[in-house]
């Protein structure tokens, strides 16, 4: 068995007022996997992913990336290994041009010249937006901004890509283009989403979290085919969408 890209063991976290947010989370994601993280609002999904690059630090339990345990001493290296793409791309795009945005992270690591150009070109090509390289981000469509934001994270060559609600506010064509680009990546992916058909399309495995605990972890088709489980945890498939278990 490979060393997990992400290993979360007995992770517990409470807010300053004492409200528990995570209650003993155990989650391992291995190299090359694409896993969906599902759950209702307030389930603890965002709190969990913010532990994966040290925005939150564990109060109990551990988080490790490819064997490197998250700590105050390792946090910068962990952040290099874990690329988080937040729900609103405008939170990540702030430079005058797409090129400057995508090269911002690698340049801060000391990369320059042809090596830096290659990182930028490869990241934009991976997300199928190389033609946007000289455009101002504020002139792009929302779907284009989303893929440019992902390109900026990919340029850091993370070991795992964590995407927070990647299909939110996307029209059907933009959603399809995003799915096509993500499907072609070799990078390990954790996709946090309320878009259950997208999870079904993209992720062989899904994890359901509710009230700070993992309540299901298994094949996406089986989880989405369990009507009682979905109903209990306030998850709903779109009307008319059907899932074949064991697909």
In order of their start, the domains of the chain are: 6-89+160-232 (3.40.50.300)
pLDDT of residue 1: 64
Give me the torsion for CA of 165, 167, 170, 175, rounded to 10°: 170
User: Taking the model in full, what pTM does it have?
Assistant: 0.94
Q: Which helix (H) or strand (E) holds 82?
A: strand 82-85
The mean per-residue pLDDT over the stretch 51-77 comes to 95
Helices (H), 155-224: 172-183, 196-202, 220-224
pLDDT of residue 247: 46
Q: Do the bridges between strand 34-38 and strand 60-65 make them parallel or antiparallel, or are there none, so unpaired?
A: unpaired
pLDDT of residue 245: 63
Give the rounded distance of the alpha carbon of 224 from its chain centre: 20
Q: List Cα–Cα distances, 153 to 56, 92, 104, 164, in angstroms.
A: 19, 9, 10, 13
Out of 85-99, 125-139, 153-167, 233-247, least confident range: 233-247
- 222-245 in b/e form (b: 16+ CB < 10 A) is bbbbbeeebeebebeeeeeeebee
């Amino acid at each position: 068995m490979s060393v997990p890209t992400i290993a979360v063991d007995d992770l517990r976290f409470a807010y300053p007022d004492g409200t528990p947010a995570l209650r003993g989370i155990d989650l391992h994601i291995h190299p090359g996997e694409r896993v969906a993280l599902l759950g209702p609002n307030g389930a603890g999904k965002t709190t969990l992913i913010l532990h994966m690059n040290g925005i939150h630090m564990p109060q109990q339990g551990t988080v490790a990336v490819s064997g490197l345990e998250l700590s105050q001493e390792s946090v910068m290296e962990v952040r290099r290994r874990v690329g988080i793409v937040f729900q609103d791309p405008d939170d990540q795009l702030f430079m005058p041009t797409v090129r400057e945005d995508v090269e911002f992270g690698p340049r801060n690591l000391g990369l320059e010249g042809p090596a830096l150009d290659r990182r930028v070109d490869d990241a934009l090509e991976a997300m199928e937006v190389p033609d946007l390289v000289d455009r101002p981000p504020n002139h792009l469509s929302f779907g284009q901004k989303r893929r440019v934001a992902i390109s900026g994270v990919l340029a850091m060559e993370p070991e795992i890509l964590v995407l927070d609600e990647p299909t939110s506010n996307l029209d059907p064509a933009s959603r399809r283009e995003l799915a096509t680009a993500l499907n072609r990546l070799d990078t390990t992916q954790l996709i946090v989403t309320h878009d259950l058909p997208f999870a079904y399309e993209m992720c062989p495995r899904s994890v359901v979290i509710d009230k700070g605990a993992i309540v299901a972890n298994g094949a996406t088709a089986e989880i989405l085919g369990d009507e009682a489980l979905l109903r209990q945890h306030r998850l709903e498939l779109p009307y008319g969408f059907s899932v074949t278990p064991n697909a």
